[in-house]
Structure 1
Amino acid sequence: MQDLGRESSAIRRSIEIITLVIAGETVFFLPFVLPRVFRPTLLEVFQLTNFELGIAFSVYGVIAMLAYFPGGPLADRFAARKLMAFALLATSLGGLMLMSIPSFTVVKVLYGFWGVTTILLFWAPLIRATRAWGGAKLPGRAFGILDGGRGLVAAGIGSGAVALFSFFMPDEVQSATPDQRSKAFQQVILMFSGITFFAAVLVWVALGRQSDRGDDSRDEITHDTTLPPKGVRGVLRMPTVWLQAIVVVCAYVGYKGLDDVSLYAHEVLDFNEVQSARVGTLSMWIRPFAAVAAGLLADRFGVARMTMLSLLIFGIGSAVIASGGFRPGMNTFFFATLISTSAAVFALRGLYFAMMEDGRVPLGDTGTAVGIVSGVGYTPDVFMGPLMGFLLDRWPGELGHQFFFAVLTLAAIIGLAASMSFWRMAHRRQQVGI
């Protein structure tokens, strides 16, 4: 009977993490994966400039920044299953509006709406449920699987979307009429909306009522119960939380910077629309392997150490692109740089929330800490879109891309300094047993 119970528990835990992985990525398909993979096409179909698209991202970022703080305590109080399922359903309905190819004003409203659905109702419950799943002994594995799995979902669906888009486009992509391009792109939007709706149903059915409370009682992975909740004021006074927030800011600048790779390939290396979209999906395929590997290595060598290494590689790769050394035909060098830089950025996504264990954040304050760290850490949603648009529109061609990747290099340097401070602080606490 005990063996059957363990087997049942293992199956339930597997279903839980798979569901969190699928939901955790599909909720961002419409606002982020769509423009990342199809940025040149999106700009043309919606008749937007890079700066205007950046403004839409900024609207999302402002709403999200305001939503992170109340969203954290909300996740500590209400059922994750209900919050996440409703958020996914609402997000998918927004996709149906986007499918009508609305005006720029409506696009901005949609991005503000998605800021509420994906952040206020979804983000903190996702992180809290993942931390509870991993426990104190396997934080790296939990968040590595989450982000690596999310990357696998994004890459698989992204590749499918590119194939769908290619199917509805003429054989000679460059000869496509505006109407053909628009109809093909609408099919991609519909696909993303349908998958997001499916994820809402999956969360409601697969997580079940037991997951609403979290399963923190497992003896083999239980959190340190000697850490009582500190409350909002107590968490605000924790220096490790603020250092973690700085790391997230810098890592997220790198993540947002990957939005430029498909356009870079199109404008600098002369790739066509389908080829540049494939470049975007290649970057996404790196994510599952990088995040999972970083999580597993972090549980062995330390989260802070792996974070520092990832920031160093991210900085070097960004500096190489900023140097302007690529020309059409230099594909091998370009792809090697893209793969290493993307691996470092996606490794960071599998690491930076695992830092909570080393930072000694009580489990009961997870939602609050997520709200604070995310509210600060995801501010690039506010400024990176307009900044990217301004640089690319102000200095068309390669020079604008060089300036943009110089910004990424600076972010990597700042993040590396913050992660080193976090490591020293966590190391001292371990030595004195705090």
Structure 2
Amino acid sequence: MQNHDREPSSLRRLVTILVLIVAGETVFFLPFVLPRVFRPTLLEVFQLTNLELGVAFSIYGLVALLAYFPGGPLADRFSARKLMAFALLATSLGGIVMTSLPSFPVLKMLYGFWGLTTILLFWAPLIRETRAWGGAELPGRAFGFLDGGRGFVAAAIGSSAVALFSYFMPDDVQIATPDQQANAFRQVVLLFSTITFAAAILVWFAINDNSHRHIAPTSELKSQGIVRVLRMPTVWLQSVVVVCAYVGYKGLDDISLYAYEVLEFDEVESATVGTLSMWVRPFAAIAAGLLADRVGVARMTIASLAMFAIGTGVIAIGPFQPGVTAFFFATLIATSAAVFALRGLYYAMMEEGRVPFGDTGTAVGIVSVVGYTPDVFMGPVMGVLLDRWPGERGHQYVFLVLTIAALVGLVASIMFLRIVERSQRQAA
């Protein structure tokens, strides 16, 4: 009888993490994956400058910052299934609007709308459910599987989207007309919208409303919990690490444009470079999560930030020229691995930082308000640098910003480790 009970439990756990993985990535296909892989095409189809696209990202970021904190306590009180399914449905409808290739003012409104749908109702429930899945013993594995799996989904769908885009473009991409570009781009947006809608249905039927409540009690929306989390230095250091790692993640949006403008790749080739970076993500995040459960999350975070700093520093120096790509790809793979390893680690830091499980949503809200500020400033910063210094120089400045962020995060992660080690000694 015990074995019979254990099997459905194991199956349910497997289904839960797989659904969280799929939902956790598809909700960001339209606002993030689309411009990352197809940035040159998006700029041309919408007739935007880099700064204008950065402004749209900033609007998303500002709305998201306002949504992170109230979204945290909501996740501690209400059904993750309902919150996440509705968020996915609404996000997919925004993609339908995008297929009309709206004006820049409408595009800005759309990014603001996505800031609400992806964050207020989705982000904290996703993190809370993942932490519940991993428990106290396997936090690295839980978040490594989540982000690694999300990376696999993004890379697979991204590669499919590039193939679809290529199918609707002429054999000689350079002679594509504006109408051909726009039509191919619409097909990609429609693909992403359909997948996001399908994920909403999957969440609705596969996630158990009460799954997390059986693992740990749900905290009430009380000021004591907020104050308790605000007083934890590890939460603030974790926030700094998230800021710096997320600067790196946002900076990778420049990869496809770098390949297009500096290495002289065509639109399809540059999109392929963007997907190569995405394919690194599942392996890096899962490996980092598994190693973190052995050597410690803080130590793996320190190692990843060091690699991040070295990789972006090399690109900032600018040794890459058209036709000489092997070193570029090696650097890209190493840098992407470091950035995506961090994405699989920085929420696992909550366990070593001893955040009470009942306050997970609140802590996610606080960390996210601070940690995802790059959604506000990185788009305009990149836009100004790339438009003010066209060509290789602008890209070098972008990667210099990433190098500085990596070094700041490295200092914060070392401080975090010292606090963790001190608390462990005291507990012993």
TM-score range, shorter chain: over 0.9
Give the aligned partner of residue 208 of structure 2: 208
* Residue pairs, 1:39-188, within 5 angstroms: 39-188=39-188
Amino acid at match of 1:50: N
Aligned counterparts of 1:353 and 1:209: Cα–Cα separation in 2: 22
Amino acid at match of 2:289: G
Is the Cα–Cα contact under 8 Å of residues 151 and 281 in structure 2 kept in the other structure?
yes
Change (3 A) 1:82 1:5: same
- Match among 246, 263, 272 for residue 257 of structure 2: 263
Amino acid at match of 2:113: F
Aligned counterparts of 1:210 and 1:232: Cα–Cα separation in 2: 23
Q: SS of the residue aligned with 2:401?
A: helix
Amino acid at match of 1:113: F
Give the aligned partner of residue 362 of structure 1: 356
Aligned counterparts of 1:413 and 1:164: Cα–Cα separation in 2: 39
Is the Cα–Cα contact under 8 Å of residues 72 and 369 in structure 1 kept in the other structure?
yes
Aligned counterparts of 1:123 and 1:209: Cα–Cα separation in 2: 16
The reply on whether 1:250 has 2:247 as its aligned counterpart is no
Is the Cα–Cα contact under 8 Å of residues 133 and 214 in structure 1 kept in the other structure?
no
- Match among 203, 212, 232 for residue 226 of structure 2: 232
Give the aligned partner of residue 220 of structure 1: none
Aligned counterparts of 1:98 and 1:237: Cα–Cα separation in 2: 43
Is the Cα–Cα contact under 8 Å of residues 318 and 408 in structure 1 kept in the other structure?
yes
Shift of residue 215, structure 1, vs aligned partner:
3.7
Is the Cα–Cα contact under 8 Å of residues 129 and 214 in structure 1 kept in the other structure?
no
Amino acid at match of 2:191: M
Give the aligned partner of residue 294 of structure 2: 300
Aligned counterparts of 1:28 and 1:245: Cα–Cα separation in 2: 21
Aligned counterparts of 1:214 and 1:41: Cα–Cα separation in 2: 45
Aligned counterparts of 2:98 and 2:354: Cα–Cα separation in 1: 42
Q: SS of the residue aligned with 1:210?
A: coil
Shift of residue 51, structure 1, vs aligned partner:
0.3
Aligned counterparts of 1:330 and 1:134: Cα–Cα separation in 2: 44
Aligned counterparts of 1:253 and 1:196: Cα–Cα separation in 2: 25
Give the aligned partner of residue 329 of structure 2: 335
Aligned counterparts of 2:136 and 2:409: Cα–Cα separation in 1: 25
Amino acid at match of 1:358: E
With normalisation by structure 2, the TM-score equals 0.98
Give the aligned partner of residue 279 of structure 1: 273
Shift of residue 283, structure 1, vs aligned partner:
0.2
Q: SS of the residue aligned with 1:315?
A: helix
Amino acid at match of 2:305: L
Aligned counterparts of 1:402 and 1:153: Cα–Cα separation in 2: 30
User: 1:169-203: CA deviations, max 9, x gaps?
Assistant: 00000010000000000000000000000000000
Is the Cα–Cα contact under 8 Å of residues 281 and 340 in structure 2 kept in the other structure?
yes
Is the Cα–Cα contact under 8 Å of residues 311 and 348 in structure 1 kept in the other structure?
yes
Shift of residue 230, structure 1, vs aligned partner:
5.4
Shift of residue 329, structure 1, vs aligned partner:
1.2
Provide runs of 4+ in structure 1 moved above 6 Å: none
Aligned counterparts of 2:66 and 2:213: Cα–Cα separation in 1: 26
- Gaps of at least 5 residues in structure 1 are 218-222
Shift of residue 214, structure 1, vs aligned partner:
3.8
Aligned counterparts of 2:141 and 2:326: Cα–Cα separation in 1: 32
Shift of residue 78, structure 1, vs aligned partner:
0.7
Amino acid at match of 1:170: P
Give the aligned partner of residue 14 of structure 2: 14
The reply on whether 1:291 has 2:290 as its aligned counterpart is no
Is the Cα–Cα contact under 8 Å of residues 91 and 114 in structure 1 kept in the other structure?
yes
Aligned counterparts of 2:57 and 2:356: Cα–Cα separation in 1: 33
Amino acid at match of 1:251: A
Aligned counterparts of 1:289 and 1:41: Cα–Cα separation in 2: 28
User: 1:301-342: CA deviations, max 9, x gaps?
Assistant: 000000000000000000000001110111100000000000
Shift of residue 210, structure 1, vs aligned partner:
3.3
- Gaps of at least 5 residues in structure 2 are none
With normalisation by structure 1, the TM-score equals 0.96
State the Cα RMSD in Å.
1.4
Aligned counterparts of 2:215 and 2:141: Cα–Cα separation in 1: 16
* Residue pairs, 1:310-325, within 5 angstroms: 310-325=304-319
Amino acid at match of 1:40: P
Amino acid at match of 1:293: A
Q: SS of the residue aligned with 2:354?
A: coil
Identity %: 73
Shift of residue 2, structure 1, vs aligned partner:
1.0
The reply on whether 1:413 has 2:407 as its aligned counterpart is yes
User: 1:16-72: CA deviations, max 9, x gaps?
Assistant: 000000000000000000000000000000000000000000000000011101010
Amino acid at match of 2:102: P
Amino acid at match of 2:418: R
Q: SS of the residue aligned with 1:341?
A: helix
Is the Cα–Cα contact under 8 Å of residues 80 and 209 in structure 2 kept in the other structure?
no
Amino acid at match of 1:216: I
Change (3 A) 1:146 1:216: same
Is the Cα–Cα contact under 8 Å of residues 83 and 125 in structure 1 kept in the other structure?
yes
Aligned counterparts of 1:423 and 1:26: Cα–Cα separation in 2: 33
* Residue pairs, 1:346-385, within 5 angstroms: 346-385=340-379
Aligned counterparts of 1:402 and 1:293: Cα–Cα separation in 2: 29
Q: SS of the residue aligned with 1:143?
A: helix
Is the Cα–Cα contact under 8 Å of residues 230 and 362 in structure 1 kept in the other structure?
no
Shift of residue 4, structure 1, vs aligned partner:
1.4
Is the Cα–Cα contact under 8 Å of residues 248 and 339 in structure 2 kept in the other structure?
yes
Aligned counterparts of 1:427 and 1:210: Cα–Cα separation in 2: 35
User: 1:238-262: CA deviations, max 9, x gaps?
Assistant: 1000000000000000000100000
Amino acid at match of 2:257: L
* Residue pairs, 1:394-409, within 5 angstroms: 394-409=388-403
Amino acid at match of 1:353: Y
